[in-house]
């Protein structure tokens, strides 16, 4: 549906292929992108850790249109590149069935929804109808919004995040100043 400035899936997949097939002895690869330099490091636990810029967030008013689009009223709303809506209950996020036509009309490129988690620091989902992606299964760039929010809110730099899409995913996250580090696994799908 369009090119974006930061894509975690593409960064993780490219690093996985390069480090596995082209430079198997290396532990790190660096990309020059529309979002600046992105570094991916192979960790001892088998995960790949990606270093991304953290999006600066500014509070925005919660609107009736947000509530109509998501089917629930967020407690807070924030804007970076994407709209980040915060809910009190993870079940609201897990069971959300947004009206994607209405979501497409909201400000921000993507819609990130998040809530505190019971088994994880936070639970989230990502909707991107402006890019012809109804729901992103595990959104790296979305966590460049989500991690700074929760790090500030909870006063801690390490976040264990669960993306509650139908495919799901777990991200080990940490913030270091204006950077966000996301670690996860990749698997070979096709050769």
pLDDT of residue 184: 87
> Residue 110: how many CB atoms within 10 A of its CB?
24
Q: Tell whether the model's pLDDT for residue 191 goes beyond 80.
A: yes
Confidence of residue 110 (pLDDT cuts 50, 70, 90): very high
In this prediction, residues 156-184 reach a mean pLDDT of 94
pTM: 0.89
| Mean pLDDT value of segment 58-80 | 98
CB 161 within 8 A of CB 124: yes
Over residues 56-62, mean pLDDT? 97
Query: What number is the average pLDDT over the span 166-188?
Result: 92
Confidence (pLDDT) at 66: 98
Q: Are 135 and 150 in contact (CB under 8 A)?
A: no
pLDDT at position 28 over 80: yes
CA 63 to CA 138: how far, in whole Å? 26
Query: What whole-number distance in Å separates Cα of residue 54 and Cα of residue 23?
Result: 28
Q: Calculate the average pLDDT of the chain.
A: 94
What are the distances in angstroms from CA 54 to CA 84, 163, 181?
13, 18, 9
- For residues 4-13, give the mean pLDDT: 79
């Amino acid at each position: 549906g369009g090119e974006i400035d930061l894509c975690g899936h593409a960064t993780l997949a490219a690093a996985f292929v390069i480090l596995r097939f082209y430079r198997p002895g290396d532990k790190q690869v660096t990309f020059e992108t529309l979002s600046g330099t992105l570094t991916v490091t192979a960790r001892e636990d088998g995960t790949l850790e990606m270093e991304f810029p953290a999006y600066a967030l500014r509070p925005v008013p919660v609107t009736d249109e947000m509530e109509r689009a998501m089917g629930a009223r967020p407690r807070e709303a924030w804007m970076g590149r994407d709209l980040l809506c915060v809910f009190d209950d993870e079940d609201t996020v897990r069971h959300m069935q947004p009206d994607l036509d209405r979501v497409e009309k909201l400000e921000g490129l993507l819609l990130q929804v998040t809530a505190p988690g019971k088994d994880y620091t936070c639970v989230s989902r990502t909707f991107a109808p402006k890019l012809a992606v109804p729901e992103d299964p595990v959104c790296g760039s979305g966590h460049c919004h989500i991690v700074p929010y929760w790090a500030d809110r909870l006063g801690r730099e390490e976040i264990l995040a669960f993306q509650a899409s139908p495919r799901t995913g777990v991200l080990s996250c940490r913030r270091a100043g204006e950077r966000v580090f996301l670690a996860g696994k990749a698997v070979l799908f096709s050769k």
